[in-house]
Structure 1
Amino acid sequence: MSGQRTVTVHTLDHGPVTLTCPTWCTGEHEQGGYRADIEHIGPARLCTWRGYDIAIAELAQAPYGTLSHIRASVDIGDMSKALEPDELRQLGAELIRYASELHALAAQLTDLRTRGGTR
């Protein structure tokens, strides 16, 4: 996303909270929780294989949370499946491809932290 945007999130403990979104934020914020739970979330980088969600990674920041610095949020799926050799090779190839996305996300995170945090 480009340009500076603000968003107002309605919270249980602080009422409406207006904050500036970092440029990488998708602009979607959950309403009605606590201020400490407000999170900026970047675009999802999804690894799927044959209809299974294997992993998802995205930039995240909870500006009022305990860990207020920008980080990468990663969720590894729970696929449990017996695989034939060809399927195992295909899954391995997808994981290798996804690893390059994780390296790119790590580079982006490093760059954002080097430049001061939230841009």
Structure 2
Amino acid sequence: MTARTSLPAGGDLPCCGDCGSTSGPFRPTGDRSEDGTQVLRCSRGCPTPAADAEAAEQAAAQQVVDRAFPAVAAFLAEDRAARPDADLMRADAPQANAPRVVTVRLLDTPGATLTVTCPTWCVSEHRDEAEHGTFAVDFTHYGRDSAVSVDGVEPILSARIAQSPFTSKGPEPVVMTWPEAGATNGQLSPDEVYALADQLRAYADTLDELAVDLDVARRAAAKNGGTGEQS
């Protein structure tokens, strides 16, 4: 059986190499397709044809909304408990998919600035760099934290995508992981150990999805090429 390419060219959604589902979550198989992309597999078993068809239909409908009505997509993504913001619906409202460009002070040369287009996964506002300045090699994009915890509050392990585009040691995106003590300081009761085991099994799916996101981020970085402008 020939596996489908799990990360097709052209920006399509990642898919299962066995059934072609794009609904996820996925886990890597360790194999790569002919074009070098990671081959993925549904981590919770391939869905039934009916469930997969429904998920594909929903995903296609969401893509139509995102592409044709980005302001509406941004509105729908807001907290449902929040009051609707009519400004989002104006014709001149900022579009949700518009590239985010930041300019920061550059400490390498007095008076210099660095202008960078953030990748879509970057959630950092880069306010510290803009206010206090940064060396080019230290400038870093950060994605959202994915964490696991014992008590649901204090994390004991966190992971996120990061990229330092101007470093010579490897400018492509990576996943950063770091352990934390959490509220328990590593001292767990039997029930807490059982609970942690359950959460770690679920967290494995999260890390699989993060690996897929990282693969997509690396492909986008390689395609976009440029990292920023200095002035």
Q: TM class, shorter-chain normalised?
A: 0.7 to 0.9
Contact kept, 8 Å, 1:7 with 1:27, in 2: the verdict is: no
Displacement, 1:11?
Answer: 2.1
* Residues 39 and 116 of structure 1: CA distance in aligned 2, closer, same or farther (over 3 Å): closer
In structure 1, stretches of 5+ residues that fail to align are none
Displacement, 1:35?
Answer: 1.0
1:33-84 C-alpha deviation (Å, 9 max, x unpaired): 2111001111111222224321111111111112211111111223543322
RMSD: 2.1
* Residues 42 and 62 of structure 1: CA distance in aligned 2, closer, same or farther (over 3 Å): same
Partners of 1:64 and 1:91 in 2: CA distance: 38
Contact kept, 8 Å, 1:112 with 1:118, in 2: the verdict is: no
TM-score (norm 1): 0.85
Which of 82, 92, 97 is the aligned partner of 2:197? 92
1:4 equivalenced with 2:99 (yes/no): yes
Structure with the bigger RCO (C-alpha within 8 Å, sep 6+) is 1
Quick check: 109-118 or 12-21, which moved more?
109-118
Quick check: 89-98 or 70-79, which moved more?
70-79
In structure 2, stretches of 5+ residues that fail to align are 1-95, 225-231
Partners of 2:219 and 2:211 in 1: CA distance: 12
Contact kept, 8 Å, 1:47 with 1:94, in 2: the verdict is: yes
Aligned residue in 2 for 1:34: 135
Quick check: 25-34 or 90-99, which moved more?
25-34
Structure 1's consecutive aligned runs of 4 or more residues displaced over 3 angstroms after TM superposition are 114-119
Displacement, 1:100?
Answer: 1.1
Partners of 2:223 and 2:179 in 1: CA distance: 25
Identical amino acids, percent of aligned pairs: 31
How many correspondences in the alignment?
Answer: 119
- Within 5 Å, which residues of 2 pair with 1:1-119? 2-14=97-109, 15-29=112-126, 30-31=128-129, 32-50=133-151, 51-66=153-168, 67-79=170-182, 80-117=185-222
Contact kept, 8 Å, 2:150 with 2:192, in 1: the verdict is: no
1:63-113 C-alpha deviation (Å, 9 max, x unpaired): 111221111111122354332221110011111111111110001111232
Contact kept, 8 Å, 2:144 with 2:161, in 1: the verdict is: yes
Higher helix fraction (1 or 2) = 2
* Residues 116 and 2 of structure 1: CA distance in aligned 2, closer, same or farther (over 3 Å): same
Higher strand fraction (1 or 2) = 1
Bigger Rg, which one: 2
